[in-house]
Amino acid sequence: MEIFSNLPLLAVLIPVLGSILLLFVPEKNDYVRNPLAFAVSFVTALVVVSVVRLVLQGHIVCHRLVEILPGLELSFRVDPLAALFGGAASVLWVFAVLYSTGYMAHEHNRRRYFIYYLLSLGITMGIAFAANLFTLYLFYELLTLATYPLVVHEGNEEAQKAGIRYIIYSFFGAGLILYSLFITYGLVGTLSFTQGGIMAEVARTAPLLLTTVFVAYILGFGVKAAIMPLHSWLPSAMAAPTPVSALLHAVAVVKSGVYGILRVMYSIFGTETMAELNLGIIVAVLVSFTIILSSIIALRQDVLKRRLAYSTISQLGYITLGAGLLTPLGLSGGLLHIINHALLKITLFFCAGAIITVTGKKYISELKGVGRRMPITMLAFTVGAVGMVGILPVNGFISKWYLMGGSLEAGMPIFIIILIASALLNAAYFFPIVTAAFFKKGDFEAPPQRGEAPLSMLVPIALLAVLSLVVGFKLDLTVPFVEMVVQYLY
Amino acid sequence: MTQGYDLSVLPLLAVLLPACGAGVTALVSFYSAWWRNFTATVVTAATLVAVAAMYPAVVVQGRVLEYQLLNIVSPLNLTFRVDSFSFIVAVIASFVWLAATIYALAYMEHEENRPRFFTLLLLTMSGTIGVPLAGDFLSLLLFFEVMSLASYVLVVHTQTEEAYSAGDLYLYLGVAGGMSILAGLAFLYFRNGTLAIMPATLVVQGMDVVIPLAAILMIVGFGIKAGMAPLHIWLPRAHPVAPAPASALLSGIMIKTGAYGIIRVINVLLVPAAGAGALESIKGMYQEFWSMVSNMGYVIIWIGIITMFMGVILAVIQENIKKMLACSSISQMGFILVGIGVAGYLKYEGAMGMAGASYHIINHALFKSCLFLAAGVIAYKLGELNMYNLGGLWKKLPFTTLVVIIASLGIAGFPFFNGYASKTLLHHAMVEAYEHYGVKALLEAERIFMLSAAGTVLYYLKFIYLVFLRRPPDEMAAKIEGIKGEPRAMKLGMAMLAVMIVFIGINPGFLLSELIVPTVYSFAFAPSFIEHHVVGINFFTAGDILSSLVVIGLGSIAFAIGVKTGLFKTSIPAWLGQEFFATQLGKLLAACWNGLSNAVMKVLAFGGAIFRRIFRSSFTALQSLDYRPGSSGAFRTFNLTNLDFDVILIMGILAAALGVLFYLQFRVLGIGF
């Protein structure tokens, strides 16, 4: 049942207004800025959670902003899929802002940083709650612009280069999306997300054109979703401060790309059209390749954050793979992985950031014995690593399980091999970090020098690690929600 | 046997106690060492009590205890299901665990990181006890993974380079095994809709390719843990590097979870439903299931034979006591695998094999842990484990000597010691397997079986002679003179096990009727066969004693020859050794990898140079179009060489590989488009 509400608009506006407020807080005044930023993200999360609750009760929350042309309007519509993405992102944003206050304490340009951090939150909510592809596209472009200052935050040569690469790749992708947008609008006359898609009629008349458009969409959104060979911006964007890498490049930005792909597949094209034109398999093949290759590349990385970045590329592939299988189980697996990967990867990045803050070490080869100095951080890292591999008690396992089910349901057992191979590769590049941290003799002294990161960083790390375990054990926290989304999309 | 289901919280308790105990121990460690030791021991003992409390219901009344926690772990629930076979594994595990924990109280005095050791020991216990108590394969896998990961910390405890590299092998093979099981489970679940540990025939009609595929994946996964022949490579490296109590548990107990898993796959999952119809069902609709069980059983028999023989050879050539014991574990797992194989091979008449396997699981747990603990005494006192550097310890360590002799007699299968009973059962099973279908090859298998048993006698005689009986080598004599008797806790730990060995050995029928027969009944074997052949079997017949004496005689003669000619000293050339294989294989792989990646890198560098040149010149051309005065030079930074060329090339190779795979799937299997 559709209900009209201002809540989606609020979710977008509050962080934007908050970031404008932050503009007036002087650079030095952390005592005002940090609580303010936290409060803004917290209130936003509250608003989003209340929207999600409405959605869970079976409502669809709409808000219409302005109509530009017939069929082309700026409007919000929160269906289950939007609630899933928006809810996950906004809740994690609270953790990330808390963590940022600790991490950025000794960094420069904190004012700029927090302004754009909150701005990105609002824009991400816009992406999540968009009612049509036009709105989605608008916010998608804005996200690139709003996150650019965060990527180049360091201001050094490396960051500048990363920023340029980020801009070029993103705009290239956005250009492809725009191109497909025109064609779609021309063909159908609407861009609204609808159950079952809007392409059903056109599919019969212009299959080849639709296939082209689809591929353009996938490549366009695939830039942010880091589908190979369009992934190259992501590892280099690791030049950004760690909370940016953690939230934006493991959760919000990349997931907005994945979200776009999901929207195109399930709300624009629709499962039937996809199956008719055999489009799912294109995606599945493309990403299974991404999954394996990026894991192999991750093996060769020595910079911890870069290794995590390649792992992100690989894990994003799981989500897209799940979508591309075009079966309910596969889609469940993909959607579950949106939540699970977000939790795990943000934990891992936060740990990497904590290590950088405390010890200044960026390279994995320098981390021997760090577990004795920072036991809680490294335990959280262990949880994240175990989850990434997909070993049982941690949540990453569940999505893998559903994906395996999906590939069997689709009659393509080959993807099980790919998932298992990827799991082994994950083990091969995550476990050495953990074992070296705890068991190798290295540069870090035992207890007398025990030193964890400040509490504002340690608390989010510990909470998220525990949350990953809880979500792994208590399935009814995620699975029913995801099943509701799948039911809605099918 | 009465069948029935009871709801009981005991299995959950048995798993939660050590898991929570681990947390408590970790916290208490900050307070004092005494309380840490106290907590660890009490929790372990309490777990043993919780497991033992299931005895009346499970074994005496023959009921099945069940418990489930809803919506925990994956699409299913966390379930427990305890029948008498689960009980056997769980009870022996917690008993040995208690002995090893008591022993560790003293032993760990000379190791570091004691809080970590005791915490992880308890956590590992939780996983290990959970494996047999689990009611479905996914819960089983959960506990299995907890055990694998937690025990890794025990393996690398000493944190030497050797421990670290052995631990790596242990960890990654463990993960691979877990993933193999997981893949098997996925096939099973999405085909059958359930993962309950019960005959697949209850949920599927007819056979297809999925079930054997799933079974094989799972057997491989469990086989890694069980040290099954080609997958055993981690075992002789990982078991010895751990501290002695942990080695005892790794080799005595954790290895058995692999065997447990294999039994559950072959003898439960694949076997058609048990019951009165078992005899008829062999001819009817379940025929193809039966024949698959039989075929897999046959393969397992041979894997077992290879495993046991290879283990013996590896054990004979070892110089390090703990390495020898680890290789001996491989060999003994071969005996258990043979039992499992026979149980499958003979279909509904395989009860003897199952009886032998489950009996040997108990016995091997007792004597192997006992021997590892005794080896720990030597390491603790002397810090030396090379047999050729030791000698004459019987004077200084009479208690340990006695324990080692008891345990060795047990493992050698000497009458009136426990190994005799299980080896006799296994030998009977082997003979039955041969006589049943008259396959000639199995006669050879039976000979290898006897030869392996003789080999076992050989290397334990060598062990006892070199370490305890002979005159110590001069350079060590002074050091050996200086040692005093064992600490009390270590004595107690070993005594608990040694007493059990003697007790079982003297009354082999007691354990048989109390535990083994109820267990065998809980599988799908023909009850009439069990009644005639297994129940009331007389262990001390002239024939059996004679054959065991022949084996012992053979072993002793080989030993005498070895000592006289000094054949042990001239150890087998290095290229036959397993270490050699491992390192050489590693070197070869590393060389291949290096060569390959160097070649690839060169190609990439070359290609990259060309690539860059092309793009650079084209961008210079573009730049010349950038006509504005004082141009920003934006083109210079926009450089497509940012797309790493090596990535593109690797992508090409991978695309080809995946292309082939996809082609196979689509065209050969006819799935997909």
Tell me the ipTM for this assembly: 0.90
User: If DSSP codes are grouped into helix, strand and coil, which group holds residue B475?
Assistant: helix
Of the two residues B484 and B426, the one the predictor is more confident about is B426
pLDDT at B581: 63
| Helices (runs of H) and strands (runs of E) counted in chain B | 28, 3
The answer to whether A293 contacts B651, with C-beta atoms less than 8 Å apart, is yes
- Report the residue from B142, B159, B642 with minimal CB separation from A392: B142
End-to-end CA distance of chain A: 17
Q: What amino acid is encoded at B98 in this protein?
A: L
CA distance B95 to B93: 5
Q: Most A CBs within 10 Å: which of B117, B175, B192, B663, as the mutation test of the A interface?
A: B175
State the average pLDDT over residues B61-89: 79
Q: Which of A164, A229, A398 sits opposite B74 (nearest CB)?
A: A398
Q: In chain B, which residues have their Cβ closer than 8 Å to the Cβ of A293?
A: 647, 650-651, 654
Tokens coding B353: 């094999």
Partners of A428 on chain B (C-beta within 8 Å) are 172
Please give the pLDDT value at position B577.
54
**H/E/C letters for each residue in B205-254?**
CCCCCHHHHHHHHHHHHHHHHHCCHHHCCCHHHHHHHCCHHHHHHHHHHH
Give CA–CA dist B644/B640, Å, rounded.
9
How far apart are alpha carbons A127 and A120 in whole angstroms?
10
The SS3 of residue B639 is coil
Q: Where are the alpha helices (DSSP H) in B320-350?
A: 321-345
Residue A203 to chain B, least CA–CA distance (Å): 18
- If we measure between CA atoms, which residue out of B274, B261, B25, B263 comes closest to residue B125? B25
CA nearest to A232 within chain B: B643
From B639, which residue of chain A is nearest by alpha-carbon distance? A165
Q: pLDDT exceeding 90 applies to what percent of chain A? A: 34
pLDDT at B347 over 70: yes
Phi, then psi, of A58 in degrees rounded to 5: 100, 5
Residue A282 with chain B: CB contacts under 8 Å: none
Residue of A391, A440, A468 to mutate when probing chain B, most B C-beta within 10 A? A391
Identify the pLDDT of residue B278: 53
Q: What angle do CA A466, A258, A46 make, to 5 degrees?
A: 50
Q: Please write the tens of the pLDDT for every residue from B421-477.
A: 888 889 888 888 888 887 888 888 888 888 899 989 988 988 888 888 888 888 778
Tell me: the pLDDT tens digits for A413-429? 889 989 999 999 999 89
Tell me how far CA of residue B189 lies from CA of A211, A324, A401, A479, B186, in angstroms.
Answer: 35, 22, 10, 17, 5
* Widest distance between CA atoms in chain B: 109
Residues 165-194, chain B: which have Cβ within 8 Å of A? Answer: 167-168, 171-172, 175-176, 178-180, 182-183, 186-187, 189-191
* Distance in angstroms (rounded) separating the CA atoms of residues B348 and B527: 9
**Chain mean pLDDT for chain A:** 88
Residue A304: Cβ within 10 Å count: 26
- Direct distance between the N- and C-terminal alpha carbons of chain B, in angstroms, rounded to an integer: 53
- Which residues of chain B make contact with A431, given a CB cutoff of 8 A? 171-172, 175
pLDDT of res. B624? 54
Those residues with Cβ within 8 angstroms of residue B588's Cβ, 6 or more apart along the chain or in another chain: none
pLDDT of B281-329, one tens digit each?
Answer: 556 667 778 888 888 899 999 999 999 988 888 888 888 889 899 999 9
Residue B255 has pLDDT above 80, yes or no: yes
The nearest CA of chain B is from the CA of A233 a distance in Å of 9
The minimum CA-CA distance between A161 and chain B, rounded to whole Å, is 8
CB contact (8 A) between residue A405 and residue B637: no
Nearest beta carbon to residue A293 from set B72, B643, B650: B650
Is a pLDDT exceeding 50 seen at residue B243? yes
Of A404, A435, A475, the CB nearest to B186: A404
Find the CB nearest B172 among A392, A428, A441: A428
Is the pLDDT at B668 greater than 60? The verdict is no
d(CA B578, CA B596): 26
pLDDT bracket for residue A192 (50, 70, 90): confident
pLDDT for the residue numbered A412:
85
pLDDT digits (tens, 9 = 90+) for B647-667: 556 666 666 777 776 666 656
SS3 call for A325: coil
Indicate if the pLDDT at residue A174 is higher than 80.
Answer: yes
Rounded mean pLDDT of B561-566?
77
Instruction: Give the Cα separation of A266 and A231 in Å (integer).
Output: 23
With a pLDDT cut of 90, the percent of chain B lying above it is 29
Chain B, 600 to 639: residues with Cβ < 8 Å from chain A are: 637-638
Choose the closest CB to A409 out of B156, B190, B673: B190
Residues 189-208 of B with CB under 8 A from A: 189-191
Judged by average pLDDT, the poorest of A109-118, A206-215, A422-431, B158-167 is A206-215
Count of alpha carbons within 13 Å of B174, Cβ hemisphere only?
29
**pLDDT band for position B626 (cuts 50, 70, 90):** very low
Q: DSSP 3-state assignment of B599?
A: helix
pLDDT(B625) > 90: no
- The token duo for A72 is 């082309």
Helix (H) or strand (E) holding A64: strand A60-69
Q: In b/e form, how buried is each residue of B600-637, taking b as 16+ CB within 10 angstroms? A: eeeebeeebeebeeebeeebeeeeeeeeeeeeeeebee
User: Residue B630's pLDDT is what?
Assistant: 47
How close B203 gets to chain A, by Cα (Å)? 18
Q: Rounded to whole angstroms, how far apart are CA atoms A211 and A219? A: 12
Checking if the pLDDT of B47 tops 90, the result is yes
Q: In angstroms, rounded to a whole number, what is the distance separating the alpha carbons of residues B520 and A268?
A: 60
Closest-CA residue of A relative to B137 is A392
Which residue in B237, B229, B215, B232 sits closest to B165, CA to CA? B237
Q: In the 8-state DSSP scheme, what is residue A130?
A: B
Residues of A in Cβ contact (< 8 Å) with B114: none
Contact residues on chain B for A329, CB-CB shorter than 8 A: 190
Q: Which helix (H) or strand (E) holds A76?
A: strand A72-78
* Cβ separation A408–B190 shorter than 8 A: yes
Q: pLDDT tens for residues B495-528?
A: 999 999 999 888 888 888 888 888 888 887 877 7
Q: What is the predicted pLDDT for the residue at B627?
A: 41
B584's CB contacts (< 8 A; 6+ apart) are none
- List, for residues A386-399, the tens digit of each pLDDT value: 999 988 888 888 88
Given this model, what pLDDT does residue B537 score?
Answer: 80
**Residues A271-293 pLDDT 10s:** 888 888 888 888 888 888 888 88
Neighbours of B583 (CB within 10 A): 12
Q: Please check the confidence at residue B672 and state whether its pLDDT lies above 50.
A: no
**A69 DSSP β-pair partners:** A72
SS (HEC) of B21-72? HHHHHHHHHCCCHHHHHHHHHHHHHHHHHHHHCCHHHHHHCCCEEEEEECCE
Residue B671 pLDDT: 46
CB-CB contact of A387 with A431 (8 Å): no
Neighbours of B384 (CB within 10 A): 15
pLDDT at res. B404: 92
Partner A contacted by B142 (CB < 8 A): yes
Show the tokens assigned to B547: 């054959």
**pLDDT at residue B393 greater than cutoff 90:** no
Q: Is the pLDDT of residue B594 over 60?
A: yes
Inter-chain CB proximity B643 and A232 less than 8 Å: yes
Give pLDDT, residue B273. Answer: 67
Which tokens belong to B600?
């690839």
Contact A285 B658 (CB under 8 A): yes
* C-alpha to C-alpha distances, A306 to A262, A299, B265, nearest whole angstrom: 26, 10, 42
Query: Strand A60-69 relative to strand B78-82: parallel, antiparallel, unpaired?
Result: unpaired
Among the listed residues B91, B98, B138, B140, the one whose alpha carbon sits nearest the alpha carbon of residue B122:
B98
Say whether B654 and A293 touch across the interface (CB within 8 A).
yes
pLDDT above 70 covers a percentage of chain B that reads 85
Q: How far is B571 from chain A (nearest CA, A)?
A: 34
Size of interface A-B (CB pairs under 8 A): 137
Q: Choose, out of A164, A306, A401, A481, the residue to mutate when testing the contact with B (most B CBs < 10 Å).
A: A401
Across the strands, what pairs with B134? B80
Q: Is the pLDDT of residue A319 over 90?
A: yes
For residues B238 and B245, the answer to whether their CB atoms sit within 8 Å is: no
Most trustworthy range by pLDDT among B89-98, B267-276, B625-634:
B89-98
Query: What residues 67-96 of chain B have any CB closer than 8 A to a CB of chain A?
Result: 71-75
CA B483 to chain centre: 35
Order of strands across the sheet that contains B5-7: B5-7, B64-69, B78-82
The secondary structure of B256-270 as a DSSP string is: HHHHHHHHIIIIIIS
* Cα→Cα distances B136→B197, B264, B272, B312, Å: 5, 10, 17, 35
pLDDT of residue B276: 45
Please report how many Cα atoms fall inside a 13 Å half-sphere around the Cα of residue A203, on the Cβ side. 19
Radius of gyration of chain B (CA): 28
Q: Provide DSSP, B413-436.
A: T-TTSHHHHHHHHHHHHHHHHHHH
Candidates A169, A276, A368, A414: best to mutate against B (most CBs of B within 10 A) is A414
Q: For residue B107, give both structure tokens.
A: 């032993």
**Confidence at residue B651, expressed as pLDDT on a 0 to 100 scale:** 61
Please give the average per-residue pLDDT across B89-101, as a whole number: 94
CA A97, CA A114: separation in Å to the nearest integer?
Answer: 8
User: In this structure, are residues B36 and B118 in contact, taking their beta carbons and an 8 Å threshold?
Assistant: yes
CB contact under 8 A, B167 and A435: yes
Angle (CA) B20-B22-B27 rounded to 5° is: 100
DSSP secondary-structure letter at A62?
E
What SS3 class is residue B80? strand
CB contacts of B176 in chain A (<8 Å) are 424
Cα separation, A344 vs A466, whole angstroms: 10
B149-185 per-position pLDDT tens digit: 999 999 999 888 888 888 988 999 999 999 999 999 9
Chain A residue with minimum CA distance to B673: A278
Mean model confidence pLDDT for chain B = 82
Instruction: Tell how strand A2-4 and strand A60-69 pair up.
Output: parallel
Measured CA distances, A175 to A180, A192, B363, B642 (Å) = 9, 20, 71, 19
Q: Which of A278, A420, A431 sits opposite B183 (nearest CB)?
A: A420
Tokens 């107690």, residue located: B492
